[in-house]
Amino acid sequence: MSGRPLVEIYCDGSAEVGYGHIRRCRTLATQLDRDGVDVSIFGLSDEARRLLPEQKRTGHLASVQIFDSPHNINDLLIAAQLRGQITVALDWFGEVSPDVNIAVYPHCEVRGIKKVYIGFEYILLREEIVLRRKLPATNNAKCVLVVLGGGDLLNQGHELSRRLCEQGLEVTLVQGPFAKNRGAGDGYRVLINPTNLPQLLASCDWAVTNGGGCLFEAMCMRKAAYVFPQTEAEDSIARFAKTQGAILGVGSANLRAFSYPELGAVAERGSKLVDGIGVSRVSSIIRGLI
């Protein structure tokens, strides 16, 4: 044993739920390690386990167990609490309450036995995104990045990319690890699960995203985003951001080319909602429970 407290993270990722849970849990694990905590991270499904490095169990009881999945964690929460472990859930709206519940948006009642935290200030973003937050904005409006999460659940990426190309825009379609339709682009570039997504986002003029992690990354980096939600939860987040003037639009009807002043105004409002330091806040909350 290192003498440092032990925290275990359990997260899900699949074609159905996307890659965002895995990505943000890896971000949280990195921050906790920097803050003096030993962390093990485990997949809750076969698909998630294939995307995570293999972890060996230490045989020691973790002080805190963290869960990040939209389903199937009721029994895990109960078992951990019976062992006397502190439970933390991220965006959990199920029947069993964790000790602490941290939610970006209250899609339903957010319940926690000890404490509840709600707000965009708890969005978990990887360092590669946050470091690019201060880069200067581009000075035109033609380069568009289309990235609809890890799975493009509704299979919209190619259709939207073609529509944008027809308007004379320069389009790059990024397809994540769970995307099914991996055909070649017709007048636009297609990249499959690129390792340099933060750089691609930094170099575009604006983005077309889903309503989850990709949207938050764009907002943090001061990139105006047009949103095509892939789930009801993402639609709720997108509608809220639209009321704040922080995105360009939601859904198919109003997708178009935008002017540079339009993009700049939306990007500035989006960056005020997502400040990039949520992972430090969440790490502090968890360390306070140990």
Same domain (yes/no): 184, 246: yes
Same domain (yes/no): 62, 145: no
Same domain (yes/no): 102, 31: yes
Q: Is 222 exposed, middle or buried (0-12, 13-18, 19+ CB in 10 A)?
A: buried
Between 2-16, 73-87, 116-130, the lowest mean confidence (pLDDT) is in 2-16
Averaged over 237-257, what is the pLDDT?
95
Q: Say how far apart CA 33 and CA 149 lie, in whole Å.
A: 27
| pLDDT band (50, 70, 90) for residue 187 | very high
3-state helix, strand, coil in the chain (%, to 5): 35, 20, 45
What is the CATH number for 99? 3.40.50.2300
Same domain (yes/no): 120, 142: no
Same domain (yes/no): 151, 267: yes
Q: Say how far apart CA 152 and CA 187 lie, in whole Å.
A: 20
- The distance from CA 285 to its chain's CA centroid, rounded to whole angstroms, is 19
Mean pLDDT score across all residues of the chain: 92
Q: Report the candidate in 1, 17, 135, 20 with the shortest Cα–Cα distance to residue 58.
A: 1
H or E, element range at 99: none
Q: Is the pLDDT of residue 136 over 80?
A: no
> Residue 216 domain-assigned?
yes
> Residue 251 domain-assigned?
yes
What is the CATH number for 214? 3.40.50.2000
Q: What is the domain range of residue 164?
A: 128-273
> Residue 1 domain-assigned?
no
Number of domains composing the chain: 2
Same domain (yes/no): 35, 117: yes
> Residue 81 domain-assigned?
yes
